[in-house]
Structure 1
Amino acid sequence: MDDLLRAVEATLFAAEQPLTVEQISNHLGQADVRPALARLRADYEGRGVLLVERGKRWHFETAPDLAHLLRREKEDVRRLSRAATEVLAIVAYHEPVSRAEIEAIRGVQTAKGTLDVLMEAGWVRVAGRREVPGRPVIYATTPDFLAHFGLGSLRELPGLEELRAAGLLDPVDDEMIETALRPGNVPDEEVETPEDPEDDDLFAEHDRQATVMGQNNDGLASSR
């Protein structure tokens, strides 16, 4: 095993959060680490620990088929409300999306607290502002969302038929997901409305956190 391969392995093993290729490369003197990552992923194939890429970030995780051996006897299960589940599905399938666009798809108003819950869980983030009158805040999913649900990218999100075939939809969920997947639900432009002061507060807090994260250059943590 060459020195670079060992260095990449050690860097990922010691990291507290998943790392991008650029972060690994910067840590190792701008070395080209992509071949080493590919080789390490192949080396760990079939073992109890795997090297995986989730949302362009690399980390080690335990093999999915061994989850039953590692599960705690008592787990704190994070249960989302129906409203939060609907909003999460809409953000995942339509991102980036504003609150007004989420409400247009759901057909009902969405409480700010619903988005707060998803952001506290680390699955949804503020992604900027829509460049239309009113400049509404827009939302997108996070690398933690991909890691938690075992997705390499949003392209791996299941379609409605896959969810039905796996028996993962009850009639209520079926209707909700079908609404989220329906094309043409998100308007191209929004009607001009005053800016929501709550959204302004949220965006200001996001800017403050982004500055701190930029200074630390730590990246986002995986929720797995």
Structure 2
Amino acid sequence: MSADAARAASPFPSAPENAAHAVRTPALRLLEAMLFAAGEPLDEATLASRLPEGADLRALLAELSADYAPRGVNLVRVAGKWMLRTAPDLGFLLARDKPEPRRLSRAALETLAIIAYHQPTTRAEIEEIRGVSTSKGTLDVLLESGWVRMRGRRRSPGRPVTYGTTELFLVHFGLDAIGDLPGLEELRGTGLIDARVSAGLTVPLPNDDTTLKDDEDPLEPEFNLSFAPEPETDEDTEE
């Protein structure tokens, strides 16, 4: 077979035909390499500091994002940072190659949702919203997952610990900011909240600002990230 015939039979474009798609400026290539090699999302300040002087980071990100949009890997913004992530429509095909994640119990999911929407919140406040006692193990699981953190202590009797979500929570759920959590109408649309629920029901606007509130004190330096002694229960119990 001649060289011309072989090129014609090949399913891949020839080098000259594909050259336009392969052209990338040095700055764009460097940006792509940084995002590919990073083990975690990168903020724009970090990206800009490593690009050639005068590079337009926003324009480069927009170009790279558009370039990756139809591919198996997408450039996405999560937690205010940038990362390369498997295209959503292909995730289920790769799930079998990943370690089976630990499934959260219903109690843990409810607790996580309350913390996300009501942060900063205490264990007692979580129990008041749920209407059931929350076991120490439930909060331990969320802390170990890295999705929840201890923020500080409430200025109230007993000085209970306050909880909030983390950047890892945003990354895991693909959120750019905590405000991207669904609102009441979106929750009703997905069926997570019954449409017949009282019209007086409201969903708070979530806020994960790391600054302590006026009624919070910082955690003690020697605080060992464990809970104070509390009655142990295997599961959440009805009050």
Which TM-score tier does this pair reach, normalised by the shorter chain? 0.5 to 0.7
Counting only pairs closer than 5 Å after superposition, residues 2-151 of structure 1 correspond to structure 2 as: 2-28=25-51, 33-72=57-96, 76-130=100-154, 135-151=159-175
Instruction: Give the Cα separation in 1 of the matches to 2:56 and 2:149.
Output: 30
Say if 1:101 and 1:29 are closer, same or farther in 2 by CA, change over 3 A.
farther
Change (3 A) 1:66 1:99: same
Q: CA RMSD in A?
A: 3.7
Task: State the 1:67 CA deviation.
Answer: 2.1
Identify, as 1 or 2, the structure richer in helix: 1
Structure 1 unmatched ranges of 5 or more:
191-195, 205-224
Q: Secondary structure at the match of 1:127?
A: strand
Q: Is the 8 A contact 2:117 2:204 kept in 1?
A: no
Q: For residues 59-118 of structure 1, what are the alpha-carbon distances to aligned partners after superposition, in whole Å with 9 as ceiling and x for unaligned?
A: 101111122332317862532222211110101111222223223322333333211101
Q: Which amino acid aligns with 2:203?
A: L
Residues 124 and 141, structure 1, Cα contact 8 Å, conserved in 2: yes
Secondary structure of the corresponding residue to residue 134 of structure 2? coil
TM normalised by structure 2 equals 0.64
Take 2:39 and 2:146, find their aligned partners in 1: how far apart are those partners? 16
Listed as ranges, the gaps of 5+ residues in structure 2 are 1-23, 206-212, 228-239
For 2:91, the aligned partner's letter is A
Which residue matches 2:17? none
Helix, strand or coil at the partner of 1:151 = coil
Q: Tell me the TM-score normalized by structure 1.
A: 0.67
Comparing both chains, which one has the higher relative contact order based on Cα–Cα distances under 8 Å and sequence gaps of 6 or more? Answer: 1
The aligned length equals 189
2:73 maps to amino acid = V
Q: Give the SS at the match of 2:224.
A: helix
The one-letter amino acid of 1:79's match is: R
Which structure has the larger Rg? 2
2: distance between equivalents of 1:105 and 1:126? 19
AA matched with 2:44: V
